[in-house]
A and B are shown apart, each in its own frame.
Chain A
Amino acid sequence: GDSWGIFAFLCAALCNLPAVPALNGTEELGAGQSIQKTYDLTRYLEHQLRTLAGTYLNYLGPPFNEPDFNPPRLARAEQVPSATVDLDLWRGLTDNARLAANYRAYSRLLCYLRGLDGQAGTAELRHRLGHFCSSLQGLVVSIAGVMSSLGYPLPAGPAGPPLPPGAPAAPNDFLKKMDDFWLLKELQTWLWRSAKDFNRLKKKVPPAVVTLRLEARGF
């Protein structure tokens, strides 16, 4: 069967997002509107995920689909990027750091999510997962667009820091399901966090700022 560690390694090595195209068209929109679009996209994805996660957890079966299920976080789950952050630290993030954190997180989450595709139960579930992955990719591209229009460099290298190649594989079916559970939970929390991240960015980057920047660059 699939092993979490090998898969994670593959993700790190092979996850290639399409290079963000020259943003001649979107620059006219201004970063303000791109941020709004990205915000709207996180809301859309959060809404989609609610139903999708419900269906997937039902497929995993009990106890994963029980509302009170509250397992301890195992060390292996640390590989999935967590949205949890110290309150003051989160407040103090620069725009660049804030965007970069979102970009890195969703890039990795997308990788892991694509891994669910192959083994999920029904064809319908696989189809819905595939659709969600496409939308999630759209989010990553959207974030990249915002970073570009604000003049920030995209985080370098493959999606996320290189993962230790010897990372432990899921030794049994239950632990594999546990991995899936935490992936969906972190993804959901990230989407809630992103809504707040983009709210902050909205307030701090009005469209007018970008227009001035474009003028300075001679566009």
Chain B
Amino acid sequence: DSHIQYERVGADVTMKCGSMDWDAAVTWTANGTDIDDSHLNGSYLILKNVDLTQSGQYSCYEGSSWHLKYQTYLRVGTPPKEPVLMCRSNNYPKGFYCSWHLPSPTYIPNSFNISVIHGTREMVCEKDIFPKNRCHIRYLQLFSTVKYKVTLTVTNALGKNSTSLTFDEFAIVKPDPPESVVAKPVPNNPRRLEVAWQNPSSWPDPESFPLKFFLRYRPLILDQWQHVELSDGTSHTITDAYAGKEYIIQVAAKDNDIGTWSDWSVAVHATPWTEEPKHLTTEAQITETTSTSTSSFVPPPTTKICDKGAVVGSGAVAVCWTAGLVLAAYGVLFI
């Protein structure tokens, strides 16, 4: 006969060869490989202090006839440790979900049982197909003063363990992060970035249960984040970005009144608009053509601010130095 046998790591295992007598001559194999006689006590197989590598198929054959007398599948594992349970409402006011996992593997099959009690009533937490180890519950009542108690029990062939969570309806509200975050530069505005996003699709009723948002941004080269909290709308214009620097931007969401902030959204990158450098090359070409065609100094036209061409590099630089200073001063102010 053949069956499965579960044993704890570190245990001493004694396998009997079916109904054979203790003093019968037998040969044991592990996964097809003969086992040394030193592990035998008569016809019993003794495995001391078993470890995970000793899991496998063990077979016992009668000495001379090589008839298969007994076969078992040994699975070495551990009883379950206390499971980790978490419950969250990312779709308030529809309901909540709970998900769980074991802090360390048992190496043998486990089964999970979850119970949800609300006051005197037991509620059914419907198991999700995917992901596994998750179930969801629908609220029947809203604004309840009675706490929910969720108990998870995990059982396997070597033991069981359980954990409980008790919470108020409001305490577990945590939306998913905002979706479709987009950041774009604003034409002709070197210090602005336009950020837009959408409510998480799992939040069922943003009309009656509006979300507020938290935006954080920083240039890639700095560690310090800047924050903005927004109680309305799904867009915001950053107006104090450093010119020409690439930014990283994230958004988080929270119900206006209850619960906790979502995780940060996927990060988006954007660089504010900068002026095209094309101007400088065309001006240089013009300067070259004028200087080659004139042999003597030509006074610049009577304008207070110099043409860009003149500033770039010609004999008329001296006249333009004040304008240059003013432009330099402006440049410093805006950096």
A87 contacts B by Cβ under 8 Å: yes
With A72-B119, A86-B140 in contact, do A189 and B145 touch (Cβ < 8 Å)? yes
User: Which residues of A approach B to under 8 Å, CB–CB?
Assistant: 43, 46, 68, 70, 72-73, 82-87, 90-91, 182, 185-186, 189-190, 192-193, 195-196, 199-200, 203
Of all chain B residues, which has the CB nearest A202?
B210
Interface CB pairs A-B, < 8 A, 18: A46-B257, A68-B166, A70-B146, A73-B145, A85-B141, A85-B143, A86-B140, A86-B142, A87-B139, A182-B145, A185-B145, A192-B143, A193-B143, A195-B257, A195-B258, A196-B143, A196-B208, A199-B208
Q: How far is the CB of A162 from chain B (nearest CB, A)?
A: 24
CA–CA, A195 and B255, complex, Å: 11
Complexed CA–CA distance, A203 and B209 (Å): 11
- Taking a contact as CB atoms under 8 Å apart, the answer to whether A73 and B146 are in contact is yes
CB contact between A85 and one of B142, B208, B210 (< 8 Å): that residue? B142
CB within 8 A of B144: which of A182, A189, A195?
A189
Q: Which residues of B contact A182 (CB under 8 A)?
A: 145
Which B residues are within 8 Å of any A CB, using their own CB? 93, 119-120, 139-147, 149, 166, 170, 207-210, 256-258
Expressed in whole angstroms, the minimum distance between the Cβ of A57 and any Cβ of chain B is 14
Q: How far is the CB of B193 from chain A (nearest CB, A)?
A: 30
Most buried by B among A72, A90, A189, A200: A189
A72 to B144, CA, bound (A): 13
A189 to B56, CA, bound (A): 57
Bound Cα distance from A199 to B212, whole angstroms: 13
B170 engages A192 (CB within 8 Å):
yes
CA gap between A195 and B166 in the complex, in Å: 24
Specify which chain A residues have a CB less than 8 angstroms from the CB of B149 in the assembled complex.
Answer: 70
Inter-chain contact A84/B141, CB cutoff 8 Å: yes
The dominant DSSP class at the A interface is helix
Q: Chain B nearest CB: distance from A14 CB in Å?
A: 27
Report the separation of the CA atoms of residues A189 and B142 in the bound assembly, to the nearest whole angstrom. Answer: 10
Task: Let me know if B166 and A87 touch, CB within 8 A.
Answer: no
Chain B residues closer than 8 Å to A73, beta-carbon distance? 119, 145-146
Cα-based distance from A46 to B258 in the complex (angstroms): 11
Question: Are A203 and B147 also in contact (CB < 8 A) when A73-B119, A90-B142 are?
Answer: no
Inside 8 A of B144's CB, which chain A residues have their CB? 84, 189
Excluding A43-B257, A84-B146, 7 further A-B contacts by CB distance (< 8 Å) are A70-B149, A91-B208, A189-B145, A192-B143, A192-B170, A199-B208, A203-B207
Partner of A189, one of B140, B143, B209, B210: B143
Please judge, given known A-B contacts A72-B119, A86-B140, whether A199 and B145 are in contact too, CB under 8 Å: no
Alpha-carbon gap, A113 to B140, bound state (A): 29
Contact partners of A85 in chain B: CB under 8 A: 141-143
Q: How far is the CA of A53 from the CA of B139 in the complex (A)?
A: 27
Q: Is A82 a contact of B145 with CB atoms below 8 Å? A: yes
Partner of A70, one of B93, B166, B207: B166
Q: Looking at A72, A190, A199, which has the most chain B CB atoms within 10 Å of its CB?
A: A199
Please measure, in the bound complex, the distance between the C-alpha atom of A171 and the C-alpha atom of B193, giving whole angstroms. 66
- A193 CB contacts on chain B under 8 angstroms: 142-143
Query: Contact between A70 and B208 (Cβ–Cβ < 8 Å)?
Result: no
Cβ contacts under 8 Å, B139 to chain A? 87
The answer for the CA separation of A199 and B256 in the assembled complex, in Å, is 10
B143 touches A84 (CB 8 A): yes
Residues of A close to B210: CB separation below 8 A? 199
Closest chain B residue to A189, Cβ basis: B145
Knowing A86-B140, A200-B208, say if A195 contacts B256 (CB, 8 Å).
Answer: yes
- In the complex, the chain A residue whose C-beta lies closest to that of B258 is A192
CA–CA, A73 to B119, complex, Å? 8
> Which residues from chain B contact A46 at a C-beta distance below 8 Å?
257
CB-CB under 8 A from B207, the residues of chain A are 200, 203
Contact A87 B145 (CB under 8 A): no
A-side contacts of B143, CB under 8 Å:
83-85, 90, 189-190, 192-193, 196
Q: Please give the distance in Å from A191's CB to the nearest CB on chain B.
A: 9
The 8 closest A-B pairs by CB, nearest first: A83-B143, A195-B257, A193-B143, A70-B147, A185-B145, A189-B145, A84-B144, A200-B208
